[in-house]
Every structure is written in structure tokens, then in C-alpha cells.
Amino acid sequence: MIIKTALAPDQAGAIGVLTLAFGVDPMARWSLPDPAKYLAAFSSIAKAFGGSAFEKGTAYIANGSTGAALWLPPGAKSDEESLKRLFDENTDDDIKADMQVIFEQMEKFHPTEQHWYLPMIGVDPAHQGAGIGSALLAEGLKAVDRDGLVAYLESSNPRNISLYQRHGFEVIGEIQSGSSPVLRPMLRKAR
């Protein structure tokens, strides 16, 4: 398996595979349950959430665009203004208040010290179970360990928790509002 840094020409493939992967993600589909809205909005959401990883050289893609991970290095942030706008424009009115609470809770768990953040990682459902997610995590964690920093992520898919735990992440809380699925913030101590 080959994991490489995703460059500008790889962005469409990386965003495409993330769109496929998050098509079954509990939080993504709770917030965007309509398939047409999900498909229309998700690529913009992914770019706002972690798209700066492409510019920073911290996006990774598995061979054949079977998986992708968008890591944000210390000091880099998601485009929170665009993210909130995209969710506001595309979510149903009955969950908008819950989305705001979730964003506020995410901010409270986000580390304040220098850290690496993994806003998005996903594997094409047709290729899951082949070690691609693990390989993508391992590649990103090389930079985290090189820098001797903590790493942080949030997961709403219970099936992924054990994968993150195998790579040293620990659940540090739960984020939930109204009818939303539980989002689990996870932290990996510096090594």
C-alpha cells in the first residue's frame, strides 16, 4: 500500500473518497440526511473543515484514491466561518440550534496547546477493512511524533474508536445535543 502526500492534482480524488466514506458517518448524515443535499454540500464542507491541509502538505491519500486523511499542523485551523455558513445553509431548521451547541462543545474540547488536528479521515466503503485507515493514521502520526506534540480528533462513528485507540488516542469526553449522534473527542498524548 502506498500512502503519499496529496498535492493539488490529488485534491479532487481525496475529497471524492471522503465524500464516499462520510456517506455513512452518523454525524454527517444526521446533519445532512437528504442524499442530494449531502452530495451537493459535502465537498465544500470537507474543504472548509480540512482543505488547508493540501496547501500545507499535510493531506495524505492512499493509492488509487481509496482513502484520504486531512491533518492540520500546529497553528492551522478549519475555516470555521465557512463551515458554520455551509451547515446553516444546508441543515434543516429543527437542528440548527443543536449544530451551534455541537460546534461550541467541540471548541471546548479542542486542545489549547500546540497540537496536530485530524478533522477528516476516510476510506472508500468498498475498500474498508484492508488497513488503509491505519496506514493513513500512521503516516500522519509520523509528523506528530517528529514534533513531539499531542494529536486530536473527533469521531461520531463508534466503529472507528478502536482504530484510533490502537494508534494511541483516548476518548476524553462526549459531545451531543438534541437528537444528534454522540461525537467523541479523542486525544493522543505526545510521544
How far, CA to CA in Å, does 118 sit from each of 73, 141, 168?
A: 9, 10, 14
Q: Using alpha carbons only, what angle is made at residue 83 by residues 79 and 89, rounded to the nearest 5 degrees?
A: 150
Three-state DSSP class for residue 136: helix
Q: In the sheet where 67-72 sits, what is the strand order?
A: 3-5, 59-62, 67-72, 115-123, 150-155, 184-188, 169-171
pLDDT, residue 13, reads: 96
Distance of CA 113 to the CA centre of its chain: 20
pLDDT, residue 178, reads: 95
Which CATH number belongs to the domain containing residue 169 in this structure?
3.40.630.30
pLDDT in tens, the chain (191 residues): 899 999 889 999 999 999 999 999 999 999 999 999 999 999 999 999 998 999 999 999 999 899 999 999 999 999 989 998 999 999 999 999 999 999 999 999 999 999 999 999 999 999 999 999 999 999 999 999 999 999 999 999 999 999 999 999 999 999 999 999 999 999 999 99
Q: How many domains does the chain have?
A: 1
Answer left, alpha or beta for residue 42, where phi above 0 means left and psi between -120 and 50 means alpha: alpha
pLDDT, residue 123, reads: 97
- Domain limits at 75? 3-188
pLDDT, residue 12, reads: 95
State the pTM of this model. Answer: 0.95
